[in-house]
Structure 1
Amino acid sequence: MKWFLVLLLLSTTVGHAQHQKKTVPLIDASVIKVDSLLWDLKALSKSPAVEWLNQTGPVRSLLYKGVDYEGKPTQVFAYYSNPDLIRGKPVGKRTYPGVVLIHGGGGKAFKEWVEKWAADGYAAIAMDLAGKGSDGQRLAQAGPDQGDVDKFSKLEKADLRDMWTFHAVSSAILAHSLLLSFPEVDATKTAVTGISWGGYLTCLVASLDNRFKAAAPVYGCGFYNESDIFKKPIGQLSAGSQRKWMKFFDPSTYLPYAQPQFLFVNGNTDRFYNVVPYHKTYSLIAPARRTMCLIPDMKHGHEAGWVPHEIRYFFESVLNERVPLVQVSPVSVQDSTLRLSYQSPVSVLSAEFYYSNDTTSLNEQRVWSKQKGIVDPKNRTISSTRPKEGFKYGFFYLKDHRNVGVSSTFLIK
């Protein structure tokens, strides 16, 4: 009988950290100076109730309580793992940084994304934002789906708190609160990254949840009414609903109050998140708290969006005080020379200047040219001759000897 009790005790304490939750820090909503804040950040700061679906294997699955939808309770499906679990070990006493992973349009909770970050040393959680489970079927207590109706057109008649963005932001913040409750997660070292629509959500979530120390939105940005793609569904709303959507659901409303360090990752020819609204979005974050990574001809997709290792290097530099990414100054134009200065403990390997005079094509069809940048390691500058034909859009892209890339901001003439 005694041995049975010992085994029972071990089975409830060794298996997983959900039995040993700790106090979760609160979001400081006082710094978000908007006239009508839609989200109850105090409530979202609390760790949600959890139903564990799978407590074995390297990646665990669960349902956690979401916010009510159309007056009814909801649950959100998610995957979770950490460096101990991914190696098949019980959760030990060591703590790890945490990361919240937010999928994009048409996506789901990606198990392999959680595996990647757990293998890289993080406690990682990825949630489904379409009211679905691991099998792709609607949950019994599902929130809104992720189609255009729930994102846009329903706004004409629906309550703001029944819109997809309200629920997606709430679910991501609740996932963070859950992560922070685990004893193996260092509550002072958490980050968030999301892809496409998940990048859009990352801008919102990182602005509202100042418990995060770092954020890496991939592709996604604000100023949706200026997007080559999203200005269309917004434009189909009535004038009043357009104003309401931009006021409550566009990241431009909240980014001025964001507290984390940001890494902005995008391509120069992205179909959904084009140059001008992207430039306006990152400009809302002070230069001292942002790093740019404009990757030439970057493809759009979930896998393409989680591949850049710059995201991990950036998180490591912020959360674990590792070697930072190259820091670059604004580009100056002096006579016929474009020049920027940089700071980096790692030598810069290469640099190029990309530019375009194509002002008539859609963003993904815009034609770009490139020319070599000259790296001066002694003076820590990078320069390139101003193109003879001039340019409307331009940026420097450089890599250090770790093969880690960063860029300047866009130059827009």
Structure 2
Amino acid sequence: MWKIDNTPPRTYEAPGFSEPGVTGLFYDGPSWQGKPTRVFAWLGMPAQSTQASGGKVPGIVLVHGGGGSAFSRWVRLWNERGFAAIAMDTCGHTPDSGSRRRDHHALGGPPGWGVYEKSLEAPMEQWGYHAVEAILRGHSLLRAQPGVDEKCIGLTGISWGGVLTGIAAGHDPRFAFAMSVYGCGFLDRSPGLGLDKTDKPHAEKWMELWDPSRHLKDAKMPFFWINGTNDFAFTPEIWQESHRLLRARSGKKTLSFKLRMPHGHGAAGESPEELRLFAASHCFGEPPLARLKKQERQGRMIRAEFDTKVPLKTAELLFTKDDGIPWPQRNWQAQPVLLSGNLASSAIPLGTVACYLNVTDTRGCVVSSEIEFFEHGTR
């Protein structure tokens, strides 16, 4: 459905959209309802080049979540981290700018997000196609910027942007790494996005076309997943299943499943240090995050061994005994556990229905084991 084209899309000025340190612009999108479209984006470069290779800087493509738009502050954040960055709007909008209201502009493509009721229409007329196309074209545009290292450009998205990240990563092998914040696949089982309440023909077709579970198997780049135990939409079971789709094909993949991590843009989804370090380890040679090497459970004991270049400081067992209620409402508890070098281990409390191990390194970065589920709780 999508074809990768290294030729950058044509760009246009965006009068009235000006922010410090970044450039507002439009670029060509695919046609919609027989008419041309344009995508709004903020584009920014580091103020002082942080040399990754040959005097060039790495880059990152930023995909906003539901209710969001292209965020200039997000571009500047990654510029401060040493990355060229582009943040595009995936719903045909122009962004907030001061008191300016976010509007669907005259050449905008289909509005989002999800848009399940349109799933029986021609795929290339739907939001899912246009949103991913905006990402791929934005990537081509960023690669074409002078001074950008096209071999080290990553992709990250928040919430619905994480959903789109899962799709785009399966179709654009040019990305050096990908990072999904909250978003995952198997959305017909999500309690917070409404697909489970959509009529069967539309829901099934949407899953066939746009669910990341149909696309992640083809993602081969290193992948980082970060989420919270009580997320309203991306629950532990579907999040872990999405991660496991990458098992045979993706190189290095890393989980960070935080206790009650809040959901949103801003500090919650944009600022975790784990995101910066995962990207910097691939582009600047910084020590990578720890990564799960081996995990085993024997009876009521769980153990996880991690590969790490940075000493691990603490380990915790996170567990919930709540059963029969929606995942977002379950009470998760955390307790310190034995950490011996790179090996964390713990007894599992009686009555536990799900648990996993977290380790924290000396930089304060959290990495997780996979989640163990118990159908009737541990006995």
Return the TM-score normalized by structure 2: 0.90
Equivalent in the alignment of 2:118: 154
Task: State the match for 2:195 in structure 1.
Answer: 233
Measured in 2, the distance between the counterparts of 1:295 and 1:48 equals 38
- The one of 175, 179, 190 equivalent to 2:138 is 175
Q: Which residue number corresponds to residue 128 of structure 2? A: 165
**Structure 2 CA distance for partners of 1:142 and 1:86, relative to 1, 3 Å:** farther
Q: What is the number of residues matched between the two proteins?
A: 361
Matched, 1:251 2:212: yes
TM-aligned CA deviation for residue 58 of structure 1: 1.0
Counterpart in 1 of 2:291?
327
Runs of 4+ in 1 over 6 A off after TM superposition: none
CA distance in 2, matches of 1:178, 1:288: 26
The residue number in structure 2 matching 1:306 is: 270
| Displacement after TM superposition at 1:340 (Å) | 1.2
The structure carrying a bigger strand percent of its residues is: 2
* Corresponding position of 1:96: 57
Instruction: State the distance in 1 between where 2:70 and 2:307 align.
Output: 37
Q: How does 1:324-363 map to 2 (within 5 A)?
A: 324-363=288-327
* Alignment counterpart, residue 270 of structure 1, candidates 195, 207, 231: 231
1:109 partner letter: A
Say which SS state the counterpart of residue 83 (structure 1) adopts: coil
Greater helix proportion? 1
The answer as to whether partners of 1:86 and 1:115 remain within 8 angstroms in 2 is: no
Partner of 2:345: 383
Deviation at 1:222, TM superposition (A): 0.5
Which residue pairs with 1:112 in the alignment? 73
Q: Partners of 1:116 and 1:301 in 2: how far apart?
A: 16
**Which residue matches 1:407?**
368
Q: 1:335 to 1:226 in 2, by over 3 A?
A: closer
Counterpart in 2 of 1:140?
A: 106
Distance 1:216 1:316, change over 3 A: same
- Equivalents in 1 of 2:19, 2:160: separation in Å? 31
- What CA distance in whole angstroms lies between the structure 2 residues aligned with 1:107 and 1:114? 14
The Cα shift of 1:147 comes to 4.6
- The Cα offsets for residues 75-120 of structure 1, whole Å up to 9 and x where unpaired, read as 0110011113799xxxxx9411000000000001011000100011
- Decide whether the 8 Å contact of 1:279 with 1:410 is kept in 2: yes
Cα distance between partner residues in 2 of 1:329 and 1:411: 16
SS of 1:205's partner is: helix
Distance in 1, Cα, partners of 2:352 & 2:8:
51
Which of residues 212, 217, 220 in structure 1 aligns to 2:183?
220
CA distance in 1, matches of 2:113, 2:150: 34
TM-score (norm: length of structure 1): 0.83
Matches of 2:354 and 2:6, distance apart in 1? 41
Q: Distance in 1 between matches of 2:177 and 2:67?
A: 25
Residue 397 of structure 1 is matched in structure 2 by 358
Aligned residue number for residue 58 of structure 1? 21
Contact 1:214-1:319 at 8 Å conserved across structures: no
Residue 120 to residue 383, structure 1, CA distance change in 2 (3 Å): same
Gaps of 5+ in 1: 1-37, 88-92
The share of aligned pairs that are identical, in percent, is 33
* Partners of 1:268 and 1:48 in 2: CA distance: 40
Q: Could you give the per-residue CA deviations for residues 183-203 of structure 1, whole angstroms, max 9, x where no partner exists?
A: 211010010100000000011
Amino acid at match of 1:227: S
- 1:329 is paired with a residue of what secondary structure? strand
Equivalent residues of 1:86, 1:119 under 8 A apart: no
Q: Is the 1:58–1:85 Cα contact (8 Å) retained in structure 2?
A: no
Deviations 1:363-395 (A, max 9, x none): 211111222111112xx31111221x1422111
Say yes or no: does 1:125 pair with 2:78.
no
Counterpart CA distance in 2 for 1:333 and 1:147 is 40
What amino acid maps onto 2:111 in structure 1?
A: D
SS at match of 1:84: coil
Give the root-mean-square deviation of aligned CA atoms: 2.0
Aligned counterparts of 2:180 and 2:63: Cα–Cα separation in 1: 9
Matching residue of 1:69: 32
Question: 3-state DSSP class of the match of 1:351?
Answer: strand
SS in structure 1 of the partner of residue 135 of structure 2: helix
